[in-house]
């Protein structure tokens, strides 16, 4: 049980990092890029909290 939670958290973290990297590569202006990064980080934190059964 603990290992599956750890693997889920790790996969979620890797997906967040990958999406943030891909957002950096998009040809959009800085302000829009910051907004998209904040949205991705918030969604990632909510996902991690769900894995930890906080939410």
For residues 40 and 23, the answer to whether their CB atoms sit within 8 Å is yes
Q: What is the pLDDT of residue 47?
A: 87
Asked whether 40 and 20 are in contact (CB, 8 A), the reply is yes
54 φ, ψ (degrees, to nearest 5): -85, -35
Q: What band does 9 get if pLDDT is binned at 50, 70 and 90? A: confident
pTM metric for this prediction: 0.79
What distance in Å separates the CA atoms of residue 8 and residue 1, rounded to the nearest whole number? 11
Confidence band of 54 (pLDDT split at 50, 70, 90): low
Domain-by-domain residue ranges, the chain? Answer: 1-52
Judge contact between 50 and 9, C-beta under 8 A: no
**pLDDT attached to residue 25:** 93
Task: Fill in the DSSP letter of residue 52.
Answer: T
């Amino acid at each position: 049980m603990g290992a599956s939670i750890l693997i889920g958290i790790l996969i979620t973290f890797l997906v967040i990092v990958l999406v943030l990297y891909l957002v950096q590569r998009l040809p959009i202006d800085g302000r829009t890029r910051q907004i998209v990064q904040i949205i991705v980080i918030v969604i990632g934190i909510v996902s991690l909290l769900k894995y930890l059964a906080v939410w």
